[in-house]
């Protein structure tokens, strides 16, 4: 009797194991299919960027290039003026980054560890700004900047993005989690506000600081709406906008030059994708961290 029961459970375990194996197989199969679909556009961008013009216009597309034409990249950098766009994007991103980090850290300190009358009201002013996006206010800002002679300048690109309420909010939340006793101790040792921020708070909140700064960097690098409005001319055009104009830059129909447009697309994403793979741990949480608090 007991032998039979044992055999029964054994059989049940066997079938459960088999079932689990089948489930895992299905999961793997689905995962691979999904992966192929998601990766395909990136693969197609890379492959198309090294094809020749004839190959790109073939009626039956080739999945792997017959010959590699890396000169597409040189063409885009020179004829398409991408070298200049690269410079413009870099300067703009650096400017936005520095401005947001500096204003964000100080304001984050003021709203978390500072004490002054009207602190709550001031913080509501900052939070309220989250509800007024640039997509609403861009007209008066554009007029204002144009009147100040800032269209087609770096200052014009950077200034409206110099303060990020989101960044301030994040830093305030993180700084609040640091115990006041650290700050008291630092004050006893004679550290001023700048010292407390740079030597105590910033190092203690390194990982959050780094994560939100990465988000700021990618947002700056990938910015499109405002740069398109304020820098209409060639001189301060950024990569994202330049890429969108690329199809008009080369002579001929737009489908004629897709190999070079793809090369431009690759050039525009390379820095951020490299960062993504290096700092995966931070980047994966970057977007979700904000709202979980």
Q: Which of 5, 117, 147, 188 binds another protein (CB under 8 A)?
A: 117
Point out which span in 71-79, 147-155, 200-208, 241-249 binds another protein (CB under 8 A): 241-249
**Number of shown-chain residues binding another protein (CB under 8 A):** 89
Question: Considering only residues 58, 98, 124, 185, which one is a binding residue for another protein as defined by CB under 8 A?
Answer: 58
Site residues for another protein, 33-52, by CB under 8 A, read 34-35, 38-39, 41-42, 44-45, 48
The least distance separating another protein from the CB of residue 67, rounded to whole angstroms, comes to: 18
Residue 50 near residue 264, CB atoms below 8 Å? no
Site for another protein in 15-34 (CB under 8 A): 24, 27, 30-31, 34
Residues 156-215 that bind another protein (CB under 8 A): 159-160, 162-163, 165, 168, 193
252 lies in the binding site for another protein (CB under 8 A):
no
Task: Determine the Cα–Cα distance for residues 145 and 230; give it in Å rounded to an integer.
Answer: 8
> Is 4 or 115 the residue whose CB approaches another protein more closely?
115
| Residue 3 binds to another protein (criterion: CB under 8 A) | no
Taking contact as CB under 8 A, which single stretch among the options 7-15, 68-76, 116-124, 147-155 is the one that binds another protein? 116-124
The two most distant CA atoms of the chain are separated, in Å, by 95
Q: How far is the CB of 197 from another protein (least distance, A)?
A: 9
Q: Could you say which of 132, 176, 185, 278 contacts another protein (CB under 8 A)?
A: 132
Per CB under 8 A, contacts with another protein among 269-288 are: 269, 272-273, 276, 280, 283-285, 287-288
Long-range contacts of range 207-211, CB-CB < 8 Å, 24 or more positions apart?
207/282, 208/170, 208/171, 208/174, 208/289, 209/105, 209/171, 209/174, 210/279, 210/282, 211/282, 211/283, 211/285, 211/286, 211/289
Give the span between the Cα atoms of 46 and 131, in whole angstroms.
38
* Residues 6+ away with beta carbon under 8 Å from 212: 166, 167, 170, 171, 286, 289, 290
Q: How far is the CB of 105 from another protein (least distance, A)?
A: 9
Q: Among 163, 160, 174, 164, which Cα is nearest to 111's?
A: 174
**Taking CB under 8 A as the rule, does residue 255 contact another protein?**
yes
Nearest 5°: CA angle at 39, between 218 and 64? Answer: 120
- Specify the residue, 2 or 64, whose C-beta has the smaller distance to another protein: 64
By CB under 8 A, name the one of 115, 179, 188, 203 that touches another protein: 115
- Is there binding between residue 77 and another protein (CB under 8 A)? no
Question: Based on CB atoms, which residue is closest to another protein, 204 or 222?
Answer: 222
Residue pair 227/244 in contact by the 8 Å Cβ criterion: no
């Amino acid at each position: 009797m007991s032998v039979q029961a044992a055999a029964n459970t054994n059989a049940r375990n066997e079938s459960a194991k088999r079932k689990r194996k089948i489930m895992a197989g299905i999961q793997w199969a689905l995962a691979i299919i999904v992966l192929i679909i998601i990766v395909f556009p990136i693969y197609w961008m890379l492959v198309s960027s090294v094809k020749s013009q004839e190959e790109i216009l073939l009626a039956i597309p080739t999945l792997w290039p017959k010959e590699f034409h890396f000169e597409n990249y040189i063409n885009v950098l020179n004829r398409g003026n991408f070298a200049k766009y690269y410079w413009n994007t870099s300067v703009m991103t650096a400017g936005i980054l520095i401005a947001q980090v500096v204003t964000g850290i100080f304001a984050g300190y003021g709203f978390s560890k500072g004490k002054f009358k009207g602190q709550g009201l001031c913080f509501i002013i900052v939070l309220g700004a989250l509800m007024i996006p640039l997509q609403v206010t861009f007209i008066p800002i554009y007029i204002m900047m144009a009147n100040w002679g800032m269209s087609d300048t770096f200052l014009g690109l950077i200034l409206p993005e110099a303060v990020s309420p989101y960044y301030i909010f994040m830093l305030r939340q993180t700084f609040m989690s640091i115990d006041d006793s650290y700050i008291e101790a630092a004050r006893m040792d004679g550290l001023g506000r700048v010292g407390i921020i740079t030597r105590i708070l910033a190092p203690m909140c390194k990982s959050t600081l780094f994560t939100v700064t990465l988000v700021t960097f990618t947002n700056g690098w990938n910015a499109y709406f405002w740069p398109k409005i304020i820098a209409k001319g060639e001189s301060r055009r950024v990569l994202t906008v330049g890429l969108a104009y690329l199809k008009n830059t080369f002579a001929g129909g737009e489908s004629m030059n897709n190999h070079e447009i793809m090369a431009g697309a690759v050039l525009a994403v390379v820095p951020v994708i490299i960062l993504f793979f290096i700092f995966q741990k931070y980047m994966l949480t970057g977007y979700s961290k904000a709202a979980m608090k």
